[in-house]
Structure 1
Amino acid sequence: MILNNFKGILPLALASIFFVSCSDDDNAPEIPMETETDIVDIAITDSNLSILVEALTKAELVATLQGDGPFTVFAPTNSAFEAFLTDNNFASLDDIPQETLTQVLLNHVVSGDVKAADLETTYYSSSSTAGVDGKNLSLYVNTADGVTINGSAVSTADIEASNGTVHVVDKVIGLPNVVNHATYNSAFTSLVGALTTDGNTVFTDLLSDAEQKFTVFAPTNDAFTAFENPSENDLNAILANHVIGGAALAAGDLSNSYANTAAANEDGDNLSIYVNTDDGVTLNGISTVIIADVVTTNGIIHAVDTVIDLPTVVTFATADSENFSSLVGALTTEGQPDFVSILSSTTENTPFTVFAPVNSAFAALAEVPTGEDLTAVLTHHVIAEANIVSGDLSDGLVSPATLQGDALTFIASEETFVITDGAGNMGINIVKADVQAINGVIHAIDTVLIPGS
C-alpha cells in the first residue's frame, strides 16, 4: 500500500486537531494543538489521487511538495493517469523514465498560492525545466469557461493546504512542443488551421521535431483576419517566414539584428527577418510581439499582431532605419525614379542585388548629389537579374553591369569582401552581407559607390 510508505513520515491527514492533557493537574484545560495538512497529505487522503501519490514517490518529489512553498498544484485524477499511460503506450508508471516522470509532475506545479478566482487567462511558468535549453515550461491557463490548463480542466478547485492550494484536474498535463502549445490557445486557431489546411503536415512534422530548436512568431486570429496577401504569395512560404530554425530565442535574447527564417527564395536561399528591440520587439518593421516567451520543449513562441509577409529589398531598407534611413531618403527624393516600386517588384528585372550604403556612408559625403547625378549614383548600387550572395563573390570578380551601366570589382580574402566602384574608388567594405529578400539580396556597405564619369 502506498499509504504505508508514509507511516512515521507524514501526519495523518484527518488528524488536524488533537488535545494534550496536563497529567499533573486534572483540572487544567485541554489545549488544542493544530497539525498542518500539506499538499501530500491531501493527496494521500483522497483515494482518487492514489496514482499521483505513487508517481510522486517514484519521482522522489514527496519532500519537495512537503516544503514550505507555497505551491499551486494541478492534481491529475487516477483516470487521468490511466488515460495518460494508455495514450503513451506505458503499461504502468514503472515504464516511464524517472526524469520524464519528474518533469511531467513538475509541470503540474506553479510557484505561489493561487486560488481559482485569482487565475487569469494568460501564460504561467511551471516548475518543470523540460523547456528548451532547460527553461521552465509555460502553462496556458484559460478561464473563459471554468479553468483549463493546457487543455486539462479543473474539476475540483481550491483544496487548501498548509503550503499552498490543490486543484484537481481531469487530464495529465504533458510536456508540450511548439505544435501542442499552438493548439491550446484559441487565439491561434487560424494559425493552426493554416498550418494544417488540406491535410498539410509539413509544419506539424517540422515543429514537432524534438531534435531541433525553433523561434516561432505566431500571428493571432486577428492578424490573419486583417491579412489580405496583397502580393498573392504562397501561404506555406508566408508561414515558414515566421519560423527561425536552429535557435530558441527568448525576448531577452533578441537585439537589433537579422536572422534567417525557414522560408526561401527560388534558389533555396533562406529569407532574412529584421528584428528591432528599440520599443518592444518588431519584425520587418510591420509586426509587433504582443505575448513573449511561451516556452515549449523544442522552442519558444512569440505571439505577433500582424502576419509577416515575404520581404522585398524595400522591406528591409524601410524597416532598418538605424542603418538605411539616409538611403531611403535618397531613393524617395522628389524627382527621382519610383525606386520603391522598381525594387518592390517580384517580376520585373528580378532578382536584384543591392549594395546598400549605411547612414554613416551618406554622412561621409561632402555633398549628396542631386538630380540626374543622384540617379546615377543610386542605380550604380543595383545589379538586376542576379541574386549575388557572398558565397558567389571571389577575388578579382567583376560583376555584371549595374543599372547605371558600370561594373563593380571585388577583392576577396577569407570572409572579407572589398569593392572597387565604377570610379575606381577602392577599399569599400561590405559590413553586413546576405540580407535575403524574396526578390533579391542586400549587402550593407560602408561607403557610397560612385560611378565612372
Structure 2
Amino acid sequence: MKTTSNFFKAFLFVFALVVMASCSNDDGDLPVENQDPDIVDLAVATDDLSILVAALQRADLVSALQADGPFTVFAPTNAAFEAFLTANNFATLEDVPVDVLTQVLLNHVVSGEFTSGSLSTQYVSSLSTAGAGGNNLSLFINTASGVTINGISDVTTADVDATNGVVHIVDAVIGLPDIVDHALANPDLSELVGALTDGGNTTFTDLLSSDNEEFTVFAPVNAAFSAFTNPNGNELANILSNHVIIGATAVSSGLSNSYVNTAGTNADGDFLSLYINTDSGVTLNGTSNVAAADIIATNGVIHAVDAVIDIPTVVTFAVADPNFSTLVSALTELTPGTDFAGILSRTEGGNGDGFDPDFTVFAPTNEAFDALASIPDEPVLTQVLLHHVVGGAKVRSGDLTDGIMATTLEGDDITINLPGTGDNIADVTDGSGASDIGIIAVDVQAGNGVIHVLNKVMIPNTNN
C-alpha cells in the first residue's frame, strides 16, 4: 500500500513538470501574464507602501483594486500616512473610523489609466462618494510644476505600471476636500480667495468650511475679478455673498431656467434672487457664464464662472429672463423718450424727478403682451409701463394683504386681492377697472426692488 502511494506521488510530480514545461515560453520562464503585478501586488511589493496596504486591508478594498479597472492610483508613502495620522490626532491606523478611511482611500483612485504624460491641469472625479449629495469628490490635478493633487500632494514617483492600471506614488495623503480646500488648491481662484479673506476676514472661510450645511458656489476666476470694476460701488462682501446658495448642492445636471435665492441681501435684509438660464450652457443673471462645472466637495459644489455677479437691479432680471423680452423692448426701443432702464437701475434716489427707489415692479410676461390687440404707441405705452411700477417701496408677497391698494408711478391705484383665483397667487385690479389680472410668480428680489410676475398687461384709466 505504501509503495503504491509513493508511485502515485511520483507520477503527480512528473505530470506537474510536464504541464509547467508546456506553459513556459522559449526561455523556460513562466508566461508574462503570470508575472505582471496588479495594483495591490505592486503595493505589497513596495516597502514604503506598507501602511497603504494595511489601510486597504482594513477598509476591505483589496479586491476592489484587484478588479479589471483600469485605475489610476495616487499611492501615499508610509511617511505620508504617518503625517496624516498625526495631523488628525490618530495614534494608529486602527483609530481611523473605517467609513472615513474607506472614503479617504477611494479619494486616491480615479477610474481610467492616466500616465504622467496624459495628465493635464484639470478636475477629475475620484471613486470617493463622500461628496455632498453622495456625488463623487473632485480632484484638482495641477501640472504647472510636476504633478500636484488638490494643492497638497505631489507625485514623487510616476508611472508604475500594473496589469489593471497605473500607480503614482505621492508624498501626502489626499484628504476629503471642502469648498474652501478646493478654492485654495486652484491658482485660478486665488483672487477670489484673496477677496474672501481680505483684512483677515474669516466669515466666508468659516461658513464655507462648515459640514453642517451644503452650498453651491459660483466662483469667479481671476480674469473675472480683473475685469470687474464695481460700477455701482456695492459692498464687496455682499457681492461675494451673491455668489453663494445656502442649503443646496446644485450640480449642473439639476439646473434649469429658474430663480434661486443667494446669501446676498438688499438693504432690508431680503435675500437676493439669482436667475439661472440653461438654454445654452449655464448663464447667471444674463452676464456670467459657468466655465467649469461640478467641482464636488464634501459640503457642496463649485461652478467656476467667467464674470463677477454684481448686485442685481430690477432691470438685471428683466434683461436676463427671456420671458420678459417684450417688456424689455417696450422699456427701451419702443419708448426712447423715457430712460426706463436708467430709472429702474437706480439704487439711490434724490434726482428730484419722482422716480425714487425702492421699486415694486409688476412685470407682464411675453404672453401677456401677446394677448394685447396691439402694443400702444409711445405716449400711451409710456403711461402703461409706469402703471406697472410702484416707487419708494419694496412690497414683497409677505407684505400683501387682501384689498391692499398701491399708487403707481403713472398715478392710478391698483388693488390686490388674496388669495387669487385659479392658478393665480393673487388677483389684481388695474386703473381701468379690469380685474382678470393674475400675479403668477412673486418675490424676484433685486437690490433696488422686487418683481412680481403678471399674466396680463395692466391698463391705466385713460379718462383722467
Shorter-chain TM-score range:
over 0.9
1:384 correspondence with 2:391:
yes
Residues 318, 328 of structure 1: 8 Å contact kept? yes
Q: Secondary structure at the match of 2:157?
A: strand
Structure 1's 248 and 25: CA in aligned 2 closer, same or farther, altered over 3 A?
closer
1:295: Cα distance to partner? 0.6
What is aligned with 1:361?
368
What is aligned with 2:12?
none
Q: What is the one-letter code of the residue matched to 1:392?
A: D
Listed as ranges, the matches of 1:45-444 within 5 Å are 45-151=45-151, 152-320=153-321, 322-332=322-332, 333-348=334-349, 349-399=356-406, 401-413=407-419, 416-444=425-453
Q: Distance in 1 between matches of 2:269 and 2:81?
A: 46
TM-score, normalisation: structure 1: 0.92
Q: Distance in 2 between matches of 1:25 and 1:327?
A: 86
What is aligned with 1:7?
none
1:90: Cα distance to partner? 1.2
Q: Secondary structure at the match of 1:408?
A: strand
1:25: Cα distance to partner? 9.3
Residues 335, 381 of structure 2: 8 Å contact kept? no
Q: Secondary structure at the match of 2:231?
A: coil
Which of residues 443, 453, 456 in structure 2 aligns to 1:447?
456
Structure 1's 301 and 79: CA in aligned 2 closer, same or farther, altered over 3 A?
same
The C-alpha deviation readout for 1:13-38, integer Å capped at 9, x for no partner, is xxxxxxx8438999x97353333311
Residues 68, 164 of structure 2: 8 Å contact kept? yes
Q: Distance in 2 between matches of 1:338 and 1:310?
A: 21
Greater CA radius of gyration, 1 or 2?
2
Q: What is the one-letter code of the residue matched to 2:30?
A: P
Residues 215, 300 of structure 1: 8 Å contact kept? yes
Q: Percent identity?
A: 58
RMSD of Structure 2 on Structure 1 (CA): 1.7
What is aligned with 1:17?
none
Q: Distance in 2 between matches of 1:181 and 1:440?
A: 35
What is aligned with 2:13?
none
Residues 21, 31 of structure 1: 8 Å contact kept? no
The C-alpha deviation readout for 1:91-116, integer Å capped at 9, x for no partner, is 11122111110000000000111111
Q: Secondary structure at the match of 2:212?
A: coil
Which is further off, 424-433 or 70-79? 424-433
Which is further off, 426-435 or 32-41? 32-41
Runs of 4+ residues deviating >4 angstroms: 23-26
Q: Secondary structure at the match of 1:273?
A: strand
Q: Secondary structure at the match of 1:89?
A: coil
1:427: Cα distance to partner? 2.3
Residues 196, 204 of structure 2: 8 Å contact kept? yes
The C-alpha deviation readout for 1:310-356, integer Å capped at 9, x for no partner, is 00000011111x21111111111244311111000000211100001
Q: Secondary structure at the match of 2:360?
A: strand
Q: What is the one-letter code of the residue matched to 1:88?
A: N
Unaligned runs of 5+ in 2: 1-15, 350-355
Structure 1's 249 and 23: CA in aligned 2 closer, same or farther, altered over 3 A?
closer
Q: What is the one-letter code of the residue matched to 1:404?
A: E
Residues 255, 276 of structure 2: 8 Å contact kept? yes
Residues 387, 412 of structure 2: 8 Å contact kept? yes
Residues 425, 440 of structure 2: 8 Å contact kept? no
**Matched residue count:** 431
Unaligned runs of 5+ in 1: 1-19
The C-alpha deviation readout for 1:26-54, integer Å capped at 9, x for no partner, is 9x973533333111111111111111111
The C-alpha deviation readout for 1:254-274, integer Å capped at 9, x for no partner, is 111111110011111110111
TM-score, normalisation: structure 2: 0.90
What is aligned with 1:11?
none
Q: Distance in 2 between matches of 1:25 and 1:250?
A: 58
Q: Secondary structure at the match of 1:232?
A: coil
Q: What is the one-letter code of the residue matched to 2:256?
A: S
